[in-house]
Amino acid sequence: MSHSTRRALILGGSAVLAAGPAWAQGVAGFTANRAGTGVFDHAAFDALLARRARNSRDGVVRVDYRGWQASRADRAALDAYIAALEGLRPHSLTRPEQFAYWANLYNAVTIRVVLEAYPVSTIRTIRSGLLPGPWRRRVVTVEGVELTLDDIEHAILRRGWADPRVHYAVNCASYSCPNLPLRAWRGAGLGPGLDAAARAYVNSARAVRFDGDVLVVSSIYRWYADDFGGSDARVIAHLARYADEPLSSRLRSATRIDRHTYEWALNDIQRG
């Protein structure tokens, strides 16, 4: 995701402005398996993440929301980056670049939503009408289509790619969520990058742990169980695939998930 390349695609080595009216017929239009040859330079988002996000001792990537909110330049840079993404036609990008586009857009907009409400102790205090959390607010417009964060995650990424690793690519600004990437997603190296994100999360106690013989896993694997195979056995197999030893062996001998857990505290560097 980049601020410096506002509304520009790097297409065949030259920058081309994304133009034309919205062709997508609502959110469903973005899930079509169509692709161009374009890529996008996300260096500006990289720069913001380098300044405002960092690994903490507990393994959680935390964000300096206070410092980011206080910096007029960094808030403007985030706005410019999101505006640049809004100005693109996602289907002009390669298929891996489209995934990166949507995941980066989700993460950038989530950060902006938190900054607009900060200080908050949890993203769930930012409401969508009467509902907790900002996920049903219309927060961004792409090709004339107003989108919510739920639209991006569930209607576009999960439906369009049907890959459980979607859940390791997007960050909900919470302690128990898979980490916010310290570098924006790119189409190049996307598969290995998603595998690395999966391994990082699965091997953290936020995702999987044994309390004695009791297997405790993140509620993500209950909320979206179908994405991971639909049964305890298949969820456990998914976890074992990415787990390091000795966790992997323990998982392979497990027959059921005993408990789910999730902590919604904000991934704020002030709390780390």
Q: Which of 19-33, 55-69, 225-239 has the lowest mean pLDDT?
A: 19-33
Percent of the chain with pLDDT over 70: 90
Query: Angle between the 232-242 and 190-202 helix axes, to the nearest 10 degrees?
Result: 110
DSSP one-letter string for 199-241? HHHHTSTTTEEEETTEEEEETHHHHTGGGGTSSHHHHHHHHHH
Residue 162 has pLDDT above 80, yes or no: yes
Q: Is 214 exposed, middle or buried (0-12, 13-18, 19+ CB in 10 A)?
A: exposed
The per-residue pLDDT for 32 is: 86
The per-residue pLDDT for 7 is: 31
- Over residues 205-254, the pLDDT tens digits come to 999 999 999 999 999 999 999 999 999 999 999 999 999 999 999 999 99
Residue 15 has pLDDT above 90, yes or no: no
Average pLDDT of the chain, as a whole number:
91
The per-residue pLDDT for 270 is: 82
Q: Which residue has the tokens 């995702």?
A: 207
- Report the half-sphere exposure of 11 (CA within 13 A, side-chain side): 18
- Over residues 84-135, the pLDDT tens digits come to 999 999 999 999 999 999 999 999 999 999 999 999 999 999 999 999 999 9
Q: Which residue has the tokens 């034309």?
A: 20
Confidence of residue 11 (pLDDT cuts 50, 70, 90): very low
pTM above 0.95, yes or no: no
Q: What is the mean pLDDT of residues 248-261?
A: 98
Q: How far is 181 from 49, CA to CA, in rounded Å? A: 8
Tokens of 168: 């390791």
- Phi and psi dihedrals of 2, rounded to 5? -135, 145
Higher pLDDT, residue 272 or 180: 180
Q: Which residue has the tokens 């390349």?
A: 5
Q: How far is 25 from 207, CA to CA, in rounded Å? A: 37
Q: CB under 8 Å to 100, separation ≥6 — which residues?
A: 40, 42, 184, 185, 186, 187, 190
